[in-house]
């Protein structure tokens, strides 16, 4: 079929409502919740987990504050808790106070129980964020389980990456490099599965183009370089290398979420199963402009 000449808003278009302030909820919230998940691992390696928990809470709070600045009616923000039955945004908002309470108790008391509870709530928070995106079925790039898996594993990679970044202050964290490398491999698998899912089911061309531009940097710096530095740091006990690996892994995750929310999020657009027969004309073939058709297996 010849490419249709499309006017108006028939083709998918990049979403404009969630800008960097909206994306920061996922960037900071994901990294913060991942940091809460990673804090017990730091404790297992004889590092003080409390600074990580505190930073995790600050990041989550920063994400929520950023999105509060973005919403149209900020002084009504507490209405957000009114639909726990179906809205993952409500559920995210309901998890947050428990997460802050457990985290604050962990920071001030140092009790491992609160650190662990904060880690569990951090995992739930990251999952809720992923489900917020999945529930938004108007955006093809978000409405898939492969995206949920990628968002959750990215949060954990970011958290462990930030802990690894602190390894110059706690040289005992060196073995964390093995965990970081393993998680980077897991994120690579989640990423390739996500991209394959997009191509298999079809996606807006703009979505695929955005990821095509982003992928080389993400794979080379966020995965390959990060994993190599993490392993060098772990095997050779070089805290600086481990810190570098952690920084690459965490920054790569943040850039991925920025790309996912601000660059690759295209609307569904419109389609026709076939064109109608008008007057004496004949019906024409269907069309779905702006979409890359599903790839055959």
Partner 1 sequence: MSAQVNQDKRYVMAIDLRRCVGCQTCTAACKNANATPPGVQWRRVLDIETGEFPDVQRTFMPVGCMHCANPPCMHVCPTTATKLRADGLVTIDYDICIGCANCVMACPYDARSIQHIAKYAYGVPMKSEEARFEPERLGVATKCTFCKDRIDLAAKTGQTPGVDPEVTPACVNSCISDAMHFGDIKDPNSNVSKLLAKTEHFRMHEELGTDPSIYYILDGEEA
> Would you tell me which residues interact with partner 1 (CB under 8 A)?
1-2, 4-10, 13, 15, 17-18, 22, 67, 70-74, 76-77, 79-83, 86-90, 93, 132, 135-139, 142, 265, 267-278, 281, 283-285, 287, 289
CB of residue 1 to partner 1, shortest distance in Å? 8
Nearer to partner 1, 73 or 216 (CB): 73
Three-state secondary-structure class, residue 15: coil
Helix axes 176-201, 226-236, angle to 10 degrees: 160
CB of residue 142 to partner 1, shortest distance in Å? 7
Nearer to partner 1, 9 or 46 (CB): 9
Instruction: Specify the DSSP element, H or E, that contains 197.
Output: helix 176-201
CB of residue 148 to partner 1, shortest distance in Å? 15
**Start-to-end CA span in the chain (Å):** 21
Nearer to partner 1, 201 or 295 (CB): 201
CB 29 within 8 A of CB 129: yes
Nearer to partner 1, 168 or 285 (CB): 285
Query: Exposed/middle/buried for 286, CB within 10 Å: 0-12, 13-18, 19+?
Result: exposed
At 251, list the tokens.
């920054």
CB of residue 296 to partner 1, shortest distance in Å? 19
CB of residue 201 to partner 1, shortest distance in Å? 11
CB of residue 53 to partner 1, shortest distance in Å? 27
Q: SS in 3 state form for 78-124?
A: HHHHCCCCCCHHHHHHHHHHHHHHHHHHHHHHCCHHHHHHHHHHHHH
**Residues sharing a CB contact under 8 Å with residue 297, sequence separation 6 or more, in sequence order:** 200
Nearer to partner 1, 81 or 251 (CB): 81
In angstroms, rounded to a whole number, what is the distance separating the alpha carbons of residues 244 and 181? 12
Nearer to partner 1, 280 or 297 (CB): 280
């Amino acid at each position: 079929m010849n490419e249709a000449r499309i006017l108006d808003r028939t083709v998918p278009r990049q979403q404009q409502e969630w800008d960097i302030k909206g994306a920061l909820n996922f960037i900071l919230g994901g990294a913060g919740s991942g940091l809460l998940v990673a804090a017990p691992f730091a404790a297992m390696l004889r590092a003080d987990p409390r600074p990580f928990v505190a930073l995790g809470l600050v990041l989550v709070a920063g994400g929520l504050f950023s999105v509060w600045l973005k919403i149209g009616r900020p002084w009504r923000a507490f209405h957000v808790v009114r639909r726990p039955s179906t809205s993952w945004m409500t559920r995210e908002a309901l998890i947050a106070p428990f997460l802050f309470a457990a985290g604050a108790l962990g920071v001030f008391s140092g009790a491992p129980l609160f650190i662990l509870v904060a880690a569990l709530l951090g995992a739930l928070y990251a999952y809720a964020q992923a489900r917020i995106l999945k529930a938004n079925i108007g955006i093809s790039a978000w409405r898939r389980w492969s995206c949920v898996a990628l968002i959750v594993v990215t949060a954990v990679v970011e958290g462990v990456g930030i802990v690894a970044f602190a390894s110059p202050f706690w040289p005992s964290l060196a073995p964390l490099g093995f965990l970081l490398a393993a998680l980077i491999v897991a994120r690579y698998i989640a990423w390739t599965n996500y991209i394959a899912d997009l191509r298999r089911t079809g996606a807006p061309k703009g979505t695929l183009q955005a990821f095509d531009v982003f992928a080389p940097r993400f794979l080379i710096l966020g995965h390959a370089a990060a994993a190599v530095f993490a392993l060098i740091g772990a095997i050779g006990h070089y805290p600086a290398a481990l810190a570098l690996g952690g920084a690459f892994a965490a920054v790569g995750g943040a850039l991925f979420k920025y790309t996912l929310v601000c660059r690759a999020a295209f609307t569904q657009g419109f389609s026709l199963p076939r064109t109608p027969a008008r007057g004496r004309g004949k019906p024409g073939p269907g069309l779905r402009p702006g979409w890359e058709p599903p790839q055959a297996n």
